[in-house]
Amino acid sequence: MLEAHELAAIRGERVVFAGLSFSLSPGEALLLTGANGAGKSTLLRLLAGLVPPAEGSLLWHGSDALADGPAHAARLRYLAHADALKPGLTLEENLAFWARLWGGGVGSALAAVGLEGLGHLPARMLSAGQKRRGALARLALTPVPLWLLDEPSVGLDAASITRFGTLLAAHREAGGMVVAATHVDLPLPGARALRLGGAA
């Protein structure tokens, strides 16, 4: 279980959010909504252990989640806005880099996002939606309990959203948790919403 207690974040000397509390049990999903600049990406980065909270605590099964950085990193996948694909490497080579770190099969991960025919192409030749699917393929390599997703569906066509929904459902059925920032509907039935206030 992931528990956030009274989290606050300061960016550029401004309090982006404060007093934020929520908990997430296995199989649950939380949608972060709110205006541009409300702090959704900042919260995801905080949950990923990439920025420290200004106040509050984050617990994983009752213990300080951020006390052991490598252990926290190993239990999550964080997908930022950027697709994090090296443009000069093929899609397969990009995925193979992550597979060396985490394990898992490149072919099956590409198939999970419908990119099995494009693995030989340099990432720079992919369309925007294909690049996004290339980033999502990282989720399909090996299971971890927590997915942190920043606007994961941007650029995806209808068929890709459906495939992404299948990936999300399998993750949750296996006890995985999802926290996703989004401005649009995501295929996460029963997800709770956390609306962040703030600057427009």
Ligand X SMILES: Nc1ncnc2c1ncn2[C@@H]1O[C@H](COP(=O)(O)OP(=O)(O)OP(=O)(O)O)[C@@H](O)[C@H]1O
Residues that bind ligand X (CB under 6 A): 11-12, 16, 34, 36-42, 181, 199
Shortest gap between Cβ of 48 and ligand X (angstroms)? 12
Identify which of residues 78 and 98 has a Cβ nearer to ligand X in the complex.
Answer: 78
CA distances, 103 to each of 29, 67, 177 (Å) = 25, 25, 20
By beta carbon distance, the residue nearest ligand X is 12
SS3 182: coil
Q: What minimum distance in Å lies between the beta carbon of 34 and ligand X?
A: 6
Tell me how far, at minimum, the Cβ of 165 lies from ligand X, in Å.
22
Is the CB of 14 or the CB of 61 nearer to ligand X? 14
- Structure-token match 């996002």, residue found: 113
Nearer Cβ to ligand X, position 45 or 77? Answer: 45
Burial class, 150, CB count within 10 angstroms (exposed 0-12 / middle 13-18 / buried 19+): buried
CA distance 56 to 43: 12
- CB-wise, 94 or 153, nearer to ligand X? 153
| Shortest separation between residue 59's beta carbon and ligand X, angstroms | 22
Least CB distance to ligand X at residue 151 (A): 7
Residue 43 vs 139, nearer CB to ligand X: 43
Q: What is the rounded distance in angstroms from the CA atom of residue 149 to the CA atom of residue 9?
A: 18
**Which residue bears the tokens 């649950």?**
28
Q: Is 53 within 8 Å of 87 (Cβ atoms)?
A: no
